[in-house]
Amino acid sequence: MGKGLKPDLYIKSVFSLDINWLKERGIKGVLLDIDNTLITHKQKIPDEKVIGLINQFKENGIKVAIVSNARKKRVSVFNEKLGLYARYRAFKPSNRGFLRAMADLNLVPEETAVIGDQLFTDVRGGNRLGLTTILVEPLDENEPINVRVKRILEKLFLKSEPVE
Ligand SMILES: [Mg+2]
C-alpha cells in the first residue's frame, strides 16, 4: 500500500532543503524529527542553523511541528526557546503523533511533509498517511549500534530501489 519506504525526496541535509520545492507542492506544514535531523544526539539545544531553518519555514508561511520519538525531557529542552508545537514519544512509524500534530495544526495530508533521517520511522510512517516524505542523511556518524544496523538495511534498500 502506498509508497512504502520510498521517500519523495532524499537530500544530504535538512539545511540544504529548497523551500520552493515544498511550496511548489503546496506544502503548508512540516513535521520535523529532532535526533540526527536537526541536531546530533550529543547536542541538546538548537544551534544557529536550526533557528535559521525554522525562521525560513515561518517566513514562507509553512507551519512547523516537532514529532519526535525522544523522551519528554529531551524534546522540551530542545524546544524551550523555539516554542514550537511539539509531540514527544511519538512512537513513529505509528500514525498517532503525526495525526495529532496535523489535527492540532489544521493540516491535511496533501499539504503536510515529514522530514527525518530514518526510513523505518519517519518515511514509513509518513508514507502510510499519504504525506510527502523527505529523508535526510543523519548528522551524526557515531551512532549507537542498533541505529547503525538500521542504516545498513536502509542503504541496501535505497540501492535496490532508486529514488526518483
Ligand atoms: Mg532521527
Domains of the chain: 9-160 (3.40.50.1000)
Q: How far is the CA of 58 from the centre of ligand 1 (A)?
A: 22
Burial environment of residue 21 by CB neighbours within 10 A (0 to 12, 13 to 18, 19 or more): middle
**Average pLDDT of 124-146?**
88
pLDDT tier for residue 164 given thresholds of 50, 70 and 90: low
The answer to whether residues 43 and 3 touch, using CB atoms and an 8 Å cutoff, is no
> Residue 9 Cα, ligand 1 centroid: separation in angstroms?
16
Residue 160: the pLDDT is 67
Its pTM stands at 0.87
Average pLDDT across the chain, whole number: 92
pLDDT at position 162, please? 55
Per-residue pLDDT at 142: 67
Which residues, in sequence order, are CB contacts of 70 under 8 Å at separation 6+?
34, 35, 88, 89
Tell me the C-alpha distance between 116 and 8, whole Å.
12
Res 150: pLDDT: 80
